[in-house]
Structure formats: C-alpha cells, structure tokens
Structure 1
C-alpha cells in the first residue's frame, strides 16, 4: 500500500478573520512537499479550487515546482476539475510535469464538489454530468493516442491532431476521484481506472458496499486484477499526543467545516462530531503514531487498499504543525504500517 498526503492548499485564517497571503502559503507548500520526499512518502496530491480560502487554482504549477525540489515522490492532482477543464491542455500540462519529474506525474480527475470553476470558465451547471462524461472520454483517448480524430458537444472538433508533448511512457496514470455515488463507481470500474474514495465523514464501514461494487464491476469488464488499484482520502493530522493534537486542531477544523457548511445548509459543526470522527470507527485520522497506525491498517484490511492519502491541511494548520505532522507520518507511522503489511 502506498502512503502519501493530499492537500487543498487551505489558507490559514486567524480569529479576526484575516486570511494568510497565497504567496506565503504557496512557498510553505513547496517546503512541505520537499520534506515529504525526504522522509520517504510515496505520493503527494494537490487539489484545484477557485475560492478565497484556498491558495491553489492550478495544481499543475505547484507540481511542476515540486518536481524540481524532489527526487522520488509521485506528484498528482487531487483533484483536477475535469468538467471545467480542457482535456487537451490538461494532458499537455501533466505530460510536461511527467517529463520534468522523470516519470513521477499522475492525474486525478473529478467532477468537483465545489462549483466555482463552472461560471469562471463559462460552463453551465446544467451540463454537470454530460461535461464530465465527454471530457473523461476525450482525456482517456488522448492518453492512448498521440494523434486523434474526435468530435463532441462541448469543444471544437479535433481532426488528425497531435497532442504534444507526450508523457515519459506516452500515457499517464489517470485516477478518478469519487464520493458516494454508485454511478461514479460503476463508470470507474467499467473503464478500468484506479479510484480514490473520499471518506470525510460518518463511519468508513458505510462505504464497504461501494468498494465491493467497484471491484465487481472492474472484474466483470475483464480488467487485469494485477493492475487493480483503490485508495482512500481521509482528513488527517498527526502529533505526539492524541489529546494535544485534537485540542489544537478542533478550532481550525470546525471553523472550516462551518465556512463550507454555511453555503450548503449544514448545521454548525460540534466537538462531539469531531470526537466521534477520531474514535476508532470514525473517519478522522487525527492523533499520535500508534492510534494512526491502527486506523490506517484497519482501513487497508477493510477495503483492500493499495493507496492511503492523508488529507492534511483542512482548515489551515500552521506550517510548523504541518511539518511536524509530515515528519511523524514519514518517520514513524509509515514505517510501522509497512512492517505490519509485510507480516
């Protein structure tokens, strides 16, 4: 099982509502990725958002910068909002990262749980599902064919058009991110694409039927089980003491849940929800080394994971807290998980 970190580029917001500058946060992110590589984590993913509380609107630029200061870690989006992107340009950008990084780039495509990119780039939300279906099909075709002919509904036709540059091994690894919809799971299984499930609330065991469905569809369409890959993305932060890291993180985490929740009609986030999430049956992996190792191993055993992604910057923890969490993950948690999985 690969172990890595995902981020959205959350900006730190203080008690007065003052927002950290994007310039400062972007420089911190590069330092953090460099440390991930140094401590031996397997991959890094960065999301795409177009909101005032996030620093990153173009994952490709962050990943290109990270490619120049790292040596081994895989570099991915988490996610690229495919529905409001041009698949041609998206492939070109990630192929370029792949060339800079000597084959370490990956692309994770999603429909986007935030919708700001649709009006920003001139797309109609009424086409939400159709846009994703068409653009995913085109992206996969580009990934397989250097020269292509293609005609769709939402972008100009391509006639004997070469898409350059090409990735190191010609085609990129393309993951798809899914939430809780069977339709998304069925599509990924039918296409034989690796899947990253976002488990960010409730009890993870509730997702088991979706994992089983994905595997069933994947097999039914005759895909090679030796290439079967499935991961989870879970809100995480690691510290020396369970109580200490929980008390530090709760105000930041709850504030972000409430900022998002206000636009979605959620009830105010409570400490009881946070504590239930940290519990062994909950979806938050926030605690010390031993507690975190136990929960990560439980996720692997339950779902048959090939990848675990710790989403580590929700609510904008300080750079110091992030660096400490990364260090603990790479030097303490990851080695114990790897040893346990070899037994």
Structure 2
C-alpha cells in the first residue's frame, strides 16, 4: 500500500435520471444534468480528488456527452479533477476525443482526465454507424491512434476502421500530456492492452467478491514489466450508498440499486436480485453501503487486500433522489475518506 498522500478518492456517476423525492416520478433530463453540476460542486468543496461522469445513450441516463457537463463543471469548481468513467472510444473519433479533452483541460487549468473504454452497453455502436462485428478492432485501432495523438506531435496514420492522416496537427495543444486511464471490466486482453500502451488501469468492480480481481492486478504489473511501460497504481470503482445508519443506507440501496440491476438483468439474462444476494454484496461483495464507519472499514479492507491506490464510489445508482445523492457525497467527503486514511495509516486488520 502506498503512503496516504498518494491515495486518490473519487466519485463516479453514470448520470442515472433521479426520481423526485415527493412524487417518485423521474426528473427531467435537464434537471438531472443540472443536479450533476451541484453534486460536482459539493464534491469539490469537500476536497474529493476526482469526479468521473459516465457516457450512456439510454432512456434511464441523462449524460450522453460527459465532456460537455465537465466543461460546465470546470467553470464552477476549483480543484477537483474532471474525468469520465468511461468515454466510449470504440464508437467515437479519437481525434475529436483528443480535441474535446484538450479544450476541457484548458478551461479547467489542467484538471481534465479521460478514461477510455468500450462501454458496458452497446447502444452507441448502431447509433453512430458502427458494426458490432468490429467490436474488438475498433477499440484496438482507436486506442492506438489516441496514443499517438497524446504525444502532441504531427500524426501520420494509416487507418482501417479509422481515418487516414498525413502529418496532421491536432489542436488545441496541451502543455502537459493528458491524464489517461483505461476502464476494464475483467478481460485479460484488456489488461494486457492497457499495459502495452502504458496507461493506468481502472477496474470496474460492480458485483461479486472484489478479490477475484487480484489476478488482473498481478497480470497488469507483470505485463507492464514485460513491455517496459510504467507500473501505475491501480484503481477501482464500485457502487455505494452512505447514510447516517446502516439500515437507512441498505433501504436506499435495496430500493434503487436492485431496480438498476434487475433492469440490466432483463437485458443480459440474469435472474432478478434476491435479498440474500443483495446482502452478500453489501457484506462481502462489491457494494459499499452503510454508515460512514461501515463503508470506511470495507473500503480500507479492500484497498489493503488488493493493493488499490485509487477508489471511486459510484453514487446515485438506479435513480436515487437528489437528497440521498447529496447525503452520500457529504458523508463520503467529510467522514469516509478521512476515516479510510486513518485506518490505512494505522494498518487496518486483514482477516
């Protein structure tokens, strides 16, 4: 485990459209996006390191253009890193992604961060005219091109599923290299690819025992050493709800996260989430749900057992109300993060 001053604690949101606390009807997309700005402002005021916005093109999510929302946040915040979780590079244009984040970097005084990925859903592929048969080739070629663009030099590129470039300059120029992560959901090939290009890896751990990802962390370190690329600290993100008591947090999580996972299960052929399964995820799996002390203890345990140096809490899953989201953010910044650092410094017991 690294020293505490090297640890990073972030907040991620997929942009779930919230439910109105009074009527239990969904808010408008406009209001949901404006709420995200308020959430980011609060995170910045609390000294949280990163906020990362997901990209989706589905009815239950409000954020389809995270860099646009991050640009608005750049004008309303001072210190927090502004990132994505993830930018779906496979169905985007690497040149345009670079240009958008270079612009965000300028607006935010160097606080931009991009996380590249293939996405947990595939709706963006037909939406933007891509064939799912090219799923692997699209990401492989586009991340290679993006890696060239990051160097800030003229790019000559022969594309098969991307454009062909001849000594092309891309603007605006950045004074420093854009901080770039790759989000990985558990594919060994994705881990090796990330190591080959020398990017930090962010593990999406959204269910099951998180310790099963230790094999991927080990693979990342071994592959990076083999390729001669930097061995960066590994991060992970997982769903969570924080409230004053364990019972209150569990009630919120059961109501909303179950709703989200059941909807996902219908699409992917998974069974509906049972209460026993939910309780397993809360106590032994990948949900960080409870009072500040309960959540801090679990985060400290997993960071120790997995040698994780960045932990992002995914908040608002399933469309939680704005009141509940702000409560989670407040308690995460004020109580959970300081307590995790205390536990790690003292040497949290590992059973």
Matched, 1:216 2:219: no
Query: Deviation digits for residues 300-338 of structure 1, max 9, x if unmatched?
Result: 111211210101121011111111110101011111122
TM-score by length of 2: 0.93
For residues 103 and 211 of structure 2, the distance between their equivalents in structure 1, rounded to whole angstroms, comes to 39
For residues 49 and 24 of structure 2, the distance between their equivalents in structure 1, rounded to whole angstroms, comes to 35
Q: Deviation at 1:263?
A: 1.2
| Structure 2 counterpart of 1:258 | 262
| Two-structure CA RMSD over aligned residues (Å) | 1.5
Matched, 1:339 2:346: no
Q: Deviation at 1:234?
A: 0.4
| Structure 2 counterpart of 1:141 | 148
| Structure 2 counterpart of 1:191 | 197
Q: Secondary structure at the match of 2:327?
A: helix
Q: Deviation at 1:13?
A: 4.6
Match of 1:3 among 9, 12, 16: 9
Matched, 1:174 2:177: no
Matched, 1:205 2:211: yes
For residues 224 and 55 of structure 1, the distance between their equivalents in structure 2, rounded to whole angstroms, comes to 36
Q: Deviation at 1:201?
A: 0.7
Query: Deviation digits for residues 72-119 of structure 1, max 9, x if unmatched?
Result: 100101000000000000000001111111111010000111001000
Match of 2:328 among 325, 328, 331: 325
Match of 2:42 among 35, 42, 50: 35
Q: Secondary structure at the match of 2:18?
A: coil
Query: Deviation digits for residues 108-137 of structure 1, max 9, x if unmatched?
Result: 000111001000000000000000000000
What pairs up with 1:215-234 in 2 under 5 angstroms? 215-225=221-231, 228-234=232-238
For residues 167 and 48 of structure 1, the distance between their equivalents in structure 2, rounded to whole angstroms, comes to 24
Mind listing any 5+ residue stretches in structure 2 that lack a counterpart? 1-6, 347-351
Q: Deviation at 1:207?
A: 1.3
TM-score by length of 1: 0.96
Match of 2:303 among 294, 300, 305: 300
For residues 258 and 311 of structure 1, the distance between their equivalents in structure 2, rounded to whole angstroms, comes to 17
Q: Deviation at 1:17?
A: 8.6
Q: Deviation at 1:339?
A: 2.9
For residues 93 and 146 of structure 1, the distance between their equivalents in structure 2, rounded to whole angstroms, comes to 17
| Structure 2 counterpart of 1:276 | 280
For residues 203 and 305 of structure 1, the distance between their equivalents in structure 2, rounded to whole angstroms, comes to 15
| Structure 2 counterpart of 1:290 | 293
Number of aligned residue pairs: 339
For residues 336 and 286 of structure 1, the distance between their equivalents in structure 2, rounded to whole angstroms, comes to 15
Q: Deviation at 1:193?
A: 0.9
Q: Deviation at 1:18?
A: 4.4
Asked if the contact 1:7/1:313 (under 8 Å) is kept, the reply is yes
